[in-house]
Amino acid sequence: MMMCCLANVSGKVQGVFFRASCQQVAIDFQLSGYAKNLSDGDVQVLMCGEEENINKMLAWLEEGPEQAAVSSVQHKNVPWQDHNHFSIG
């Protein structure tokens, strides 16, 4: 099933290549969307694609790249959005 999920990732997630790593993992899982820094220090991630691959991405977000220290991931399903690729904002 195709769907979109919006996640907010908290912790030490800015300045540790989180968004770039996120982009590569999303591409590997054939997801579109984006990863962008928020002013409060979190990273927001929109993932659109197959539900199974979104679940894999959510599991990856719990850990993030080696330099990151994820403290929490809040996520919710959102209406479908058309994105041609996974971008970094």
**Which residues belong to the active site?**
19, 37
87 lies in some domain: no
89 lies in some domain: no
**Both structure tokens of 27:** 């591409």
How many domains would you assign to the chain? 1
85 lies in some domain: no
Confidence of residue 3 (pLDDT cuts 50, 70, 90): very high
| pLDDT (0 to 100) of residue 64 | 95
Tell me the CATH number at 65.
3.30.70.100
| pLDDT (0 to 100) of residue 50 | 97
Domain that holds residue 48: 2-79
Percent of the chain scored above 70 by pLDDT?
100
Mean pLDDT of 9-36: 97
16 lies in some domain: yes
60 lies in some domain: yes
Q: Which residues of 2-30 are buried (b: 16+ CB within 10 A; e: fewer)?
A: eebbbbbbbbebbebbbbebbbebbeebe
Mean pLDDT of 54-68: 97
